[in-house]
Structure 1
């Protein structure tokens, strides 16, 4: 039985390597220029969709209009929250869909600012609705970023982050049987930025299903902290105010819990072998 272990391990490694080859070769089939054009078309289409959403929003006063933009800092989020909160009762679904669409846009194109939308969601919506909204937007946006990275990812990541990509590729091969838990762990902990995970995942052969599901589950704990902070948005002076020893402890516990199935699986495997 132990003699078969190296064979099974080598087989799993080959499967991961085949997956990497399959994903990257499909991206290479499309020339860089065509991939850039396709990404540009998707980006422009997204901008047009946001513009259409803006046109559907009720007329705002001149003072309010200047605050209706992507929040780049906490003060922007505060002012935007005050504007949207005024119209939320009468135009609830428009406001909800607006946050949904903008959040996905930021995640899809790896644009900073989604943390402020998480805090804003906690201010505008009931806690559990805000948490579901953020988790869904994160999973959908990350999956779309996964798709775009599959078009250009190998060229960009290998050019600008070759060492990190190679390091994570080795980790993916090592954790090939526990990718879901591994993705959850990466999302809960701050070891790698989310935008880098989104761009690198398809390049190094992470399948979409554990990637999307792991993102949905893994972003819940840090989103829990951000949304809870959003309920007191008017008192926040910086994003660091959202963090406390309690929130750090909660995230640490979730990170450890995500690894428990891996440890149990390894122990059971060693016991029966």
Structure 2
């Protein structure tokens, strides 16, 4: 004979089952973040000894003071001073440990992009300072695209219900705009990258929810963020070469800045011209979607 249950017990089990169903994706995402963080920590722990620094002189003797060997610590840069210091350190390592620096930089970049952590623009600048313009630009474009696609897949697997719960109005608005622009969806996605009506991190996470094909998403990220990545990487190249204000205001630097401005404005102007003819974007939609600046 089957035991009988009261309605209260049944409701309690239903609530418990629903709560467990909602918490499983959160635990899964936490496990992925923990595993990625552990990997990045272990990778950075193999950092070799840093470049030798001049030892201070003992007062009155002129002899150098003995100092214990310092082990350099890596961290994500928070300002330009930290960025320049990190660039100098990694440039030193790159001459002897090129593969290690490439693996460490790529892992840190993918970590930030995959988990939608702000500050990737600093890593784009760092790419230019360490690897130069062409290699740095290629690396930044590839890592941006792969990291954003990983964020897309993580959101699709673990975060759909949470994003819909936390940002219902934004998701609904983006869903409507995607449906209205189905006939030119790829160019609409390019428009969103050139003129972000919503931050890139939100677009990466909400794309699977509004049924954007992953192939369109992948290609639009690579092409749409190319001018932005170029600006950041070229800035890193200039910062690594500038040693004084005189270098910054030279004719060569001014011409480089002019080329950067043209590179950034030309594709954006073409996409804006296309949007005025084909995209369905009303003023109310733009006001509701615009929340803050592009965050990489």
TM-score (norm 1): 0.76
Matched position secondary structure for 1:210: helix
State the alpha-carbon separation in 2 of the partners of residues 148 and 165 from structure 1: 17
* Match among 220, 225, 243 for residue 226 of structure 2: 220
C-alpha deviation, 1:247, in angstroms: 4.4
Given the superposition, is the C-alpha separation of residues 164 and 252 from structure 1 closer, same or farther in structure 2, using an over 3 Å criterion?
farther
**Where does 1:113-152 land on structure 2 (aligned, <5 Å)?**
113-152=119-158
C-alpha deviation, 1:184, in angstroms: 1.9
Cα-Cα RMSD? 3.0
Q: Kindly indicate whether residue 151 of structure 2 is the aligned counterpart of residue 161 of structure 1.
A: no
What is the aligned length?
A: 233
Q: Which structure: larger Rg? A: 2
Partner of 2:72: 65
* Match among 6, 18, 34 for residue 24 of structure 2: 34
Q: Which ranges in structure 2 are unaligned for 5 or more consecutive residues?
A: 1-17, 52-68, 244-256, 280-296
C-alpha deviation, 1:179, in angstroms: 2.2
Q: Which ranges in structure 1 are unaligned for 5 or more consecutive residues?
A: 1-27, 237-243, 267-273
C-alpha deviation, 1:189, in angstroms: 2.2
* Match among 98, 111, 129 for residue 92 of structure 1: 98
Partner of 2:42: 52
Partner of 1:109: 115
* Match among 176, 180, 190 for residue 182 of structure 2: 176
Matched position secondary structure for 1:111: coil
Cα deviations across residues 42-78 of structure 1 (Å, max 9, x unaligned)? Answer: 1111112112211333233665624x11112222211
Determine if contact 1:106/1:112 at 8 Å carries over to the other structure. yes
Cα deviations across residues 133-168 of structure 1 (Å, max 9, x unaligned)? Answer: 111111111111111111343333223322221111
Matched position secondary structure for 2:118: coil
Determine if contact 1:153/1:203 at 8 Å carries over to the other structure. no
Given the superposition, is the C-alpha separation of residues 188 and 63 from structure 1 closer, same or farther in structure 2, using an over 3 Å criterion?
farther
* More contact order relative to length (CA 8 Å, sep ≥ 6): 1
C-alpha deviation, 1:248, in angstroms: 5.0
Once the two structures are overlaid, the 10-residue window that deviates more, 135-144 or 46-55, is: 46-55
TM-score (norm 2): 0.70
Matched position secondary structure for 1:205: coil
State the alpha-carbon separation in 2 of the partners of residues 128 and 185 from structure 1: 25
Given the superposition, is the C-alpha separation of residues 255 and 72 from structure 1 closer, same or farther in structure 2, using an over 3 Å criterion?
same
